[in-house]
Every structure is written in C-alpha cells, then in structure tokens.
Structure 1
C-alpha cells in the first residue's frame, strides 16, 4: 500500500479522526510517521486548520526534545502530516508496562520535557495538550514532545477540532475548563498531572465520563503522593504540588525555574536512568600515579624497532612512502585490522612494516549525494513535485545521483524552483531568500467594521497595524451589523503600502 510517495510499512493506530502509519519515503529512503485524516473528515474545515497549524507551528520548533514535522499535504481526497519516526513508545505505554517507574527515570523524563517546553514557550508556542500519550521515549530513553495539533502562538486564537474540547479533559487546567486563555502555566499544570501519574500510576481526576472528569479537576483534591509513593523525594513531591496549583499565578513562572531546581538538587542517582556510580576517593590519585609510571617507561625504555634499524635507514624508508592525501572523512577500520606492507632495509636487517590503507579498487563510492537547503523566511520543500520537508531542515537531503527539481513555497512569498545536479559522495548547499509576494493594507472604517479579505475574517477596526494581503486582486468586505455591508475590489502590487477609508451611510 502506498500513500503518495510513501510505502506503508504497517498501521500503528486507528482513531476516530486519524490513522497513524509507519512508512518509508520512497524518494528520500527515510522512515517516517504518517498521520492521515480519516476520509469522513476531509470536508471539516476545523480539522484541516488543525493539521495546517500543527505543521506550521512545528516548522518553527527545532529541538532535540521535540519530534520534528517534515511535511504536510492537503488535497480534496488526502490529508496527512509526515513526522520524524522515533524508535520507542509513548510515556503512557511505559507507565502501564513498567509501573512503578524508577525515580531516576521520572526525573530524566521531567527534565527532558521541561527543556522542550522552555524552548517552545521561548518561541511563543503553547502546547495545550501535555499528557503521557504526547511524550515519546526513544531508544536512548530521551523524552520527545509531540502532537502540536492544539498548539498556538500566544498571540493567535486557538482551533478546536470537531467534537473535541480544547485538550484532554483529565489533563486540562481549570482555567481552560472555565474558557480562559491558555498560557505557559497551563502547560505546566498538565505536566504536573503527568508527573503525578508517573509517580503514582494513575491520573487523580480521571472519571467515568467527561463531565465528571472536568468537575473533578475543578473541585476535587488529588490524593497525597506520600501515601501512594512514600519513597518519592521531596524534589518531585514539591514540584508536583506547585505545578498542580489551581490558580495559574500560584504555579511556577516558567519551565526554566523548574530546570534550575532539578540541577541544584544534589542527587547523583538522578542524572539518568542508568546513573553513574560515584568513584571511590582513592581512584583519582591512583590514576595519576599510573600515568606517571607509564610515562617513565615510554621515555626511558628503548624500542625494539629503533635497535633493529639504524636512524638513517628508517629515514630513507619513510621518504620512499608517499604522504597520504588529506581527507575530512574517516574510513572505518576493517574488522581484521589494518593490513601491513613489508619493506626491506638497506642493510638486510629485519623488515619494517608500515600500515597501508585500502587500495582504490577496495573503496566503495557512496550511492547518494546530498544537498542542504537554507531558506529565508521558511518554506515548504518540494522534490521532483513531492513535498518532503519544511525549512529550516534538520539535516541535508540524501538524494540519488542525477538531476532533481527543487521548489520552495511560502504562501506569502514568490515561489522559487531550481534544477540541481546531485553527484554521488558530494555535499552541496542551496541558500535562497524568497521575494515578498504581499502588500500592506491599512483599513479605516467609520464608525467601525468587521474586515473580510477574500471571504476570510481578519479583525475588527480600528486596526493596530496594517493587514498583510496577497499581491493581485483582492475582494474586501466590511460588515457592520447595524449599518450593513460594504464590498470593494482592490488590486495591489508586491511590497506596496496602501490605506483605504470606508464610511457607512447612516
């Protein structure tokens, strides 16, 4: 089974809204996760907006503790997001399989998640759905935050998927249940519930239905951690209590403060799940003594080779060997060890052997070449007509040798396309600055109006700043519920700045 240029390896999960597959990208030979919108939802604009939002927000987030989104595709009969494949499972699965989680593991996961949130919040992004199911644990036991489908920039309105609350009920902070705006403290509250679940094995507010769950979040107190996990350190119990405070202002101000608390805590066993043991006090001194003894023997013990071959003979041998060409790429050693080439000396003394590398015929040429694409501002990258990634790229694109077509697309800028010739083993770089394809339009309306550009609502007057409109022909519609509608057509050029004043007749 293929979906566009992806070969499906197997289905991972099937939900009411999306189906998730493990897949192989055929052009890039890259394993990915495909999150595909189920067919019955293809006409639901809220869900399409959610998919676009997740891809575009994630394109701004490049961090080792955040799962990378490569690409998204929206057409009348197919909608999907392509994400980085992480070998491992979710924290939710880990809690169910390994309960109780070891305390060093819990601290490692919390630390990684705080790093991801500190970075995302610094970029102005609020996740709004922190929970164990949205935290992946990879094969190195690194926590990776994923699923930014409900995320938003702090200055943007949110999107609610069809039939869903804003977030997962059992992890929703009280202020979101009351309809208030999400902020940094909202994510921290949800992380507090996740931490509680790691410690105690259960969410304290999960009930038989959504209404009961939301009521529990608003009115019930969680069971004391000390009664469920007596050995839990004070660092974790205090942190959980701070994060789960009902009032946002009573929670920590940001993730960085909590990271500092973890780093300041002297707990060698909490550095990682496989913590290093403290060395005995005598080991450092013993190591210094051992190094000194070895140094003495190296300096003052004659070498067998120096006794067997006179200095002038070694010099002539070394001069006869051509220097190895400089290279940046280290060749891996053969399993059998380096081959030795015997060289006879002038006085028939025992032969001297010098290492020799593989012959030219033994060196295999790489099967692919690569190109790194840098674009300002961001752009969707199309390879031979297939969408493959969004800049900034995490790594260069590995391509088969030959000619390829690259396109860079940003809806507010003029698209650029290039023909590139990929050579096996060669690394190339393409740096592009896109040219604006929009204009600035300041609209004033008397007395006031709701502004629609090309049938899309923008905002109400008075405007704080000019609107960005695409170059070309635009239909402007102003609506005042009491005074009616004004419609106008306006053609603008890229880079142009215009001001229009409209007056409603009373």
Structure 2
C-alpha cells in the first residue's frame, strides 16, 4: 500500500482550533472517506502536545467497538502529527438535542445504552474518557451512536500529562470529584452518562450556570436533583437507576458501565431499540409504541454498604416501643442539659485563653483587592511555575494599580482593583476548582483559544474566568495565520494580564528587491511571485528561502529566526549570481 501522504486527499476543512485542524479526507487506496485531525506544524515539536496527541491515538486504537470512533492510521514525523479516523456521516448528540428538545423515553434509553456499551469497552481497556459530553457523541444517519475525542482520556497504565493544578473537562458535564481535583474512576464517566440521559429525557441540564464561575460552583456544591419533580418526563422505572448514576459520591453510584447497561436495558419491556428505530427518529418517521413498563421496584440496583451502628443504637431500634420510651426518659435529662454544658465549656475556655496569652496590639482589618500579575514579552511566567501571592495582611494601598473598567463578557464576573505582585513573595497552593481571571491584550487583534475552544476575539470586553492551574492560551490572527501559544498560571481570585505583540513570535520575510523577478519558496512551498510587498509569516526556527526564475539558477539561503527578530528583507539580483 502506498504511503499515507500519497494516498490521502484533504477535501474539506471541518473545524480549526488554536492547536489542530480537522478535515474531511479521502483515502484513494481504500476508497473511503476519513476524518483527518492534524496538529499545526509548529506544535508538532511541542513535547506536551505531542504526548497528548499520541495518547489520544493510543486510547482510540486500544478500543475496538462499534460505539467508539475507529482509528485507521497515525502519521508522525518531525513536523507532522495527523490522526486518521473513521468518518461518521451524521451529527453530534448536542446538535440533535438542540433541534429536538427532549427525546421519547425509549429513544433516550437506547442512545444511553449505546453510550454505555462504548464506555464499557473503553473501561475494559483501562481508559477513562474524562470529557464525555454531547459534543463528543456522534449520531450517524443510520442511527449509530459513537463516542469520540479521547484527547483528555486517562490511561491507567500510562503516566499522566496533565500539569499539577490543572482541571480538565467541561463544567456542565463534570463530576464533583473531577472539579475538586480528586482521583477519578470509571464512575466519573458514568456520572456524565447520567447527566446526558437526564438531558435527553427532560430537555434540561442538571448542572447549569450563566458563567463559568457559576457553573463550576454548581459542580463543586452539587446535590442530586429531585427526580420526582420530572415524573412527567422520566418514566418511574428509570428514576431509581438514574438517581444512582447522579449520586454525588462515586461509591453510591452504579459500579460499572456493564452493570449500568444491564440495569438500564431491562427498564424497558422491548429492550434496547434497534438502530433502525433511531434512524426512523432522525428522519421523522418514528412512531412511539404504547408499552407497559415494569414497576420501579423491579429495577435492581447495587446494595450499598451500611455504616456499622453503635450497639446501643441498634438495641434501641430492635427494642419494643415501650422499652424505647423508657430508654428515652432515662437519658432525656442529660440530653436536655448538653447544649448548656457545651456553652459553659466554650465560655470557660475563652476566659482561660484570654488570661494565659500575652496581650497583642490590635489593628483594624483591611480589605484586600484582587491580585494581578502581568505577563509581557519581557516579564513572562515560567511555564510550569506557580506565581507568588502576598498574604492579605501584608498588602498596602500603595500596591494598588488601576485597570480601566469595561463591560464583562458572559463568562466574566465583577472585576475588582488588582495589586502589583512582588517577585520575592512566597507562593501559595493552587486549589483545584477555584477560579481566577485572565485579561488579554495583544497586537494585532487575535482570536483567543483555551483548551482548544474559542473564547472570544480581542479586544475582549472584560476578563475571562478560568480554573486555577496552568492553561495553554493560543492566539490566532488571520494575517499572521500562525498560532501563538503561551502557558499561563491562573491563581484563585487573581487577575493575570497577558500583554503580547504577536509579531515578535513569528518569522517575518519580505522580498524587498528581487531582480528581474522570482517565485519565492519557503521550505519548498511557493508563497508568492515578486514584485510583492506582502510579508510572509512562518513559525520561529530555521527556514529555507528559495528564489526561482526560469532563466537563472535558483537562489537558496537558510535563515534562523528567533523571538523578536525584525523583518528579514530579501535583496537579490539573480542576474549577478
């Protein structure tokens, strides 16, 4: 079979982010459409992104299941990373839910069972998805359900590439343990599967928020919903199982995708619908059949272990009612006196502490403003460091620096005055789930990508809310057409200012004087024909510039471009070479 680059044709760009471009492609040797996910060339050398990309390839390649998007090939060389995937003709589950609202119960259950089948296969290979959401679930035109985008997947037998302090995932489909940065298990994916099933049945999300801060807060403080309030949408036979999936504590949820699939598939008398029924639903020809569902008590859920009880408590429960009344009377007086005894103890303890401790100078409390760290071209954050934050008691009014007020974006929150940070101050711990803020100022304008998602275009109307930890910020400008990436450390309740000149982070080439004329090639790719005043932008590093004219010998030179270099001007007279 010919090499991949000889048999692969890119036919249509589907999506472009700050890190990768997704294409519809065609494999001429195998005569089939494929999906091509290609990392931008300048990032192919980035060890972290390369590791994450190869991790995704390994994760998908280890799973062979009809409910998981299949990987066909992986192309890796020094400047190229491309993943060749199964092309699914259809739409995302997110798009389908937006178009249809709530689903008929049997359709929702059948799609959920297909998701569980895919998770069962992934978990059997030791893979936790970690970013399961409707956008990562594809519904084909034939009614098939396929899980995709394992870019954040955790492989149990591989070292993690997530930087310390970073919380990855989508807040509205994130489990409490994931938001809190604790250890994850298969139960994390099952919790999200429960969120998706709830949304398919009701047309509403369990976790919502008008901003990222609110959504994250709702995840951290999550309490299971009262499913009985949605009895008009959720069949009674599904409520016990869905309640188990949506439990806050992982130990109170169903134990595995296989167990969940088995229980969910038995909640409908006709079992899991064939994909032809889902196809009928997509085309509008589905007719919901009247069926008699089993009663809720017939749904078998795992038995939760009860906490051992004290012998006296157990004896009270087992004793006759008359004996329990006597027992209560015997201890009642003591119970009534307990609050008074506790209060007296606190007062006495406070007096003793006041008496024994030496007197201290009193001071009025000071209100500390939000901190700001500025990230510029001359003073940037270390790529894996945590920035120092002064304790609140050491801040003074002289440290306050003003930043112009502006109307916040939907993701934003109310801004407070920042303070300037001192380099010698000690660092603080970054708590997973806490939020900070990022202001972006750049020249020229740019689209701002974070975690491969577009957050806005500069100038932004206000700061962006981000979880504390280390984030990769990618800036894209159409003229430069080269993604500029910076690693930024976000601290809780802290505003970071990223001030950057994008022109300093790319190679700039201009043909100022080329006689008589020439085609200009950079690294073997034709860029333009002179005369032209256009500036050619390329990633930093070494590049080969070639000038070609049919009547003269080609002119070639290698140039090394570093950060901050001025425009490299080409001045060549080919007739004199």
Q: TM-score scaled by structure 1?
A: 0.50
In the superposition, relative to structure 1, how do residues 166 and 9 fare at CA in structure 2: closer, same or farther (>3 Å)? Answer: same
Structure 2's unaligned 5+ residue stretches are: 278-285, 292-577
Pairing partner for 2:140 from 138, 141, 158 = 138
- Tell me by how many angstroms 1:166 deviates: 2.2
CA gap of 1:203–1:45, structure 2 versus 1, over 3 A, is farther
Alignment equivalent of 2:265, drawn from 263, 276, 279: 263
- Tell me if the contact between 2:238 and 2:264 (Cα under 8 Å) persists in the aligned partners: no
C-alpha spacing 1:6/1:126, structure 2 compared with 1 (3 Å): same
- Report what 1:85 is aligned to: 87
Segment of structure 1 superposing worse, 54-63 or 227-236: 227-236
> Which residue pairs with 2:63 in the alignment?
61
Q: 1:25 to 1:270 in 2, by over 3 A?
A: closer
Tell me, in whole angstroms, the C-alpha distance in 2 between the residues paired with 1:217 and 1:123.
28
Cα distance in 2 for partners of 1:16, 1:4 equals 27
How far is the alpha carbon of 1:70 from its aligned partner? 1.0
Q: Is the 8 A contact 1:235 1:262 kept in 2?
A: no
- Report the TM-score when normalising by structure 2: 0.45
Question: Which of the residues 96, 99, 102 maps onto 2:101?
Answer: 99
Separation (CA, whole Å) in 1 of partners of 2:230 and 2:13: 37
Give the Cα–Cα distance (whole angstroms) in 1 for the partners of residues 42 and 217 of structure 2. Answer: 32
Post-superposition CA distance 1:329-358 (Å, at most 9, x none): xxxxxxxxxxxxxxxxxxxxxxxxxxxxxx
Query: 1:152-191 alignment to 2 at 5 Å?
Result: 152-160=154-162, 165-191=167-193
Q: Within 1, Cα distance between the matches of 2:122 and 2:202?
A: 28
* SS, match of residue 140 in structure 1: coil
Distance 1:18 1:224, change over 3 A: farther
Match of 2:236 among 234, 237, 241: 234
Instruction: Note if contact 1:92-1:133 (Cα within 8 Å) is conserved in structure 2.
Output: yes
Shift of residue 275, structure 1, vs aligned partner: 7.4
Closer, same or farther: CA 209–18 of 1 in aligned 2, 3 Å:
farther
Inter-partner Cα distance in structure 2 for 1:20 and 1:235: 41
Please tell me whether the aligned partners of residues 150 and 159 of structure 1 are also in contact (alpha carbons under 8 angstroms). Answer: no
Residues 15 and 202 of structure 1, relative CA distance in 2, 3 Å threshold:
farther
Instruction: Render the CA deviation track for 1:468-493: whole Å, top value 9, x for unaligned.
Output: xxxxxxxxxxxxxxxxxxxxxxxxxx
Q: Is the 8 A contact 2:45 2:79 kept in 1?
A: no
- Corresponding residue of 2:209: 207
**Which residue is equivalent to 2:119?**
117
Give runs of aligned pairs for residues 26-65 of structure 1, distance below 5 A.
26-39=28-41, 41-65=43-67
Aligned: 1:20 with 2:8: no
Give 1:225 shift.
4.4
Residues paired across the two proteins, number:
278
Other structure's SS at 1:83 match: strand
Q: How does 1:270-309 map to 2 (within 5 A)?
A: 271-272=273-274, 273=277
Q: How does 1:448-487 map to 2 (within 5 A)?
A: none
For residue 219 of structure 1, report the CA deviation from its aligned partner: 0.7
Q: Deviations over 1:20-55 (max 9, x none)?
A: 111101332221001112345334322211110111
Residue 427 of structure 1 is matched in structure 2 by none
> For the Cα contact (< 8 Å) 1:154–1:183, is it kept in 2?
no
Query: Residue deviations 1:372-418, cap 9 Å, x none?
Result: xxxxxxxxxxxxxxxxxxxxxxxxxxxxxxxxxxxxxxxxxxxxxxx
1:8/1:186 Cα in 2 relative to 1: closer, same or farther (>3 Å)? same
Distance 2:149 2:261 in 1: 23
Paired position in structure 2 for 1:217: 219
Is contact 1:151–1:158 with CA below 8 Å preserved after alignment?
no
- CA shift at 1:253, angstroms? 0.5
- Cα distance between partner residues in 2 of 1:202 and 1:82: 35
Spell out, residue by residue over 1:153-185, the C-alpha distance to the aligned partner (whole angstroms, 9 max, x if none).
Answer: 223333338997322222221112222222111
SS in 1 for 2:103: coil
Distance 1:42 1:161 in 2: 19
Distance of aligned partners of 1:276 and 1:97 in 2 relative to their CA distance in 1, 3 Å threshold: closer
